[in-house]
Amino acid sequence: MSRDKYVSPLSERYASKEMQYIFSPDMKFKTWRKLWIALAETEKELGLKDADGNPRITDEQIEELKSHVEDINYDVAREREKLVRHDVMSHVYAYGQQCPKAAGIIHLGATSCYVGDNTDVIIMTEAMKLVRTKLINVINELAKFADTYKDLPTLAFTHFQPAQPTTVGKRATLWMQELLLDLADLEYMIGQQKLLGCKGTTGTQASFLELFEGDHETVKKIDGKIAEKMGFAACYPVSGQTYSRKVDARVLNVLSGIAMSAHKFSNDIRLLQHLKEVEEPFEKNQIGSSAMAYKRNPMRSERIASLSDYVMADALNPAIVASTQWFERTLDDSANKRISVPEAFLAIDGILDLYLNVVDGLVVYDKVIYQHFMKEIPFMATENIMMDAVKRGGNRQELHEKIREYSMIAGEQVKKYGNENNLVELIACDSAFGMTREEIEALLDPKNFVGRAPEQTAEFLAEQIQPILDANKDILGVKAEINV
């Protein structure tokens, strides 16, 4: 680790090795070289000739290029860039130093965006695939949690006030539902990715029309061939020098959506941990506070929230860039997108690793949940109690007023004096209800108040989640490593 210069926490603390590699210099510059090979192969296959009518590109040249895809001479490129102040031409030069026979045909007819923009699309696509893998694994862990606790009643909250009960598992389906929306958006964007292709300086392919002596039909084939060689279905049909920067904005909007969902989950866990109902993993030697040794802070969930804030804010960057591009190209996008796009992916990668880690180790304290439940359930059960008393011959209007009065008294005991909820006792002592304490308490079984929550959970898992998991069995089982 370097100690004399800034190092991004995204690399040192949060993002996985896999995501870091996708945005690494090796991935970038090896892809540049693969694109140069694809271009040379395409030009050869389309019959590019030299001034004497001989093939301009040979098999020998292409093989030479292929033999040096991996061993990038970074030192040569670095020194050359100091001289010419141009990263693409520096790497063209460095590649040519390793491939003297092919040096003259590297980057033939192309502009810098041929390697730069096509590589950006390739890298974003690979990064989205990794995000998809981790997102599905989070959904898988949440599904296990929801299934385990689908029948466990718990207080639900509206406005963070106790409301009609649900189950712990049903609450987890709400987190999953949001992730399903994110997965749909992510898969759509993966399927939408197209390469820039090879369009030249203003997107007109004029340089290639000149290379192929005005043969429009041949030039039309270039983009399709390059796309196929690089594993894509198509290139954008029209462009300026670059692909539309709205592509970056659309991709980061998907990442922002995942961040929104993760943030919401982390909020719920932090609140539940405050209530001591559910707790995120806490390791044996973990320190919660430097001052308060007893504390068990939900630091993983807090980190999810913190990184999610960053991703949601970062999504504004490509939106501004896309909206301020001039005509066929301007360079005020470059420095911004070099930072904003990789960092959004590195952050969302860290978020999903944390999400996976938290769900995999969630601890549920059912006794505390039951205790909280029973403090509130007498209020919620009053309608059931009243209806049962009416069946026994009571007057509904009279009983309703009595319950209202007793509820106020019981509420005052709880909030003003810190006593237990004595609503059941008050009702049992009133002969107008005709019910014993035991009969009233029999109505207070938590399972009587959760509606279809267990069934909804089981149906959601079977109908919405399981088909996704079945279709993605080969990518399940990912375990997250948390650095700090």
Q: How far is CA 17 from the centre of its chain?
A: 17
DSSP 8-state secondary structure symbol assigned to residue 382: H
Question: H/E/C letters for each residue in 264-333?
Answer: HHHHHHHHHHHHCCEECCCCCCCCCCCCCCCCCCCHHHHHHHHHHHHHHHHCHHHHHHHHCCCCCCCHHH
Q: Is residue 16 classed as helix, strand or coil in its secondary structure? A: coil
Structure tokens given for 80 = 């050359």
Spatial distance between the Cα atoms of 215 and 219, rounded to a whole number of angstroms? 6
Spatial distance between the Cα atoms of 174 and 112, rounded to a whole number of angstroms? 46
Q: Is 396 exposed, middle or buried (0-12, 13-18, 19+ CB in 10 A)?
A: exposed
Q: Is residue 381 classed as helix, strand or coil in its secondary structure? A: coil
Report H helices in 418-452: 423-428, 437-442
Spatial distance between the Cα atoms of 54 and 390, rounded to a whole number of angstroms? 101
According to DSSP, the residues that pair with 167 across neighbouring strands are: 153
* 443, 385 contact by CB (below 8 A): yes
Structure tokens given for 465 = 């989640």
Spatial distance between the Cα atoms of 310 and 343, rounded to a whole number of angstroms? 9
Q: Is 383 exposed, middle or buried (0-12, 13-18, 19+ CB in 10 A)?
A: exposed
Residue 301 is a catalytic residue? no
Catalytic residue, candidates 67, 86, 216, 289: 289
Residue 159 is a catalytic residue? yes
Nearest to 236 by CA among 126, 149, 113: 113
Cβ contacts of 2 within 8 Å, gap of 6 or more:
none
Cβ contacts of 230 within 8 Å, gap of 6 or more:
34, 35, 38, 118, 122, 195
Catalytic residue, candidates 2, 159, 274, 290: 159
Active-site positions?
Answer: 159, 289
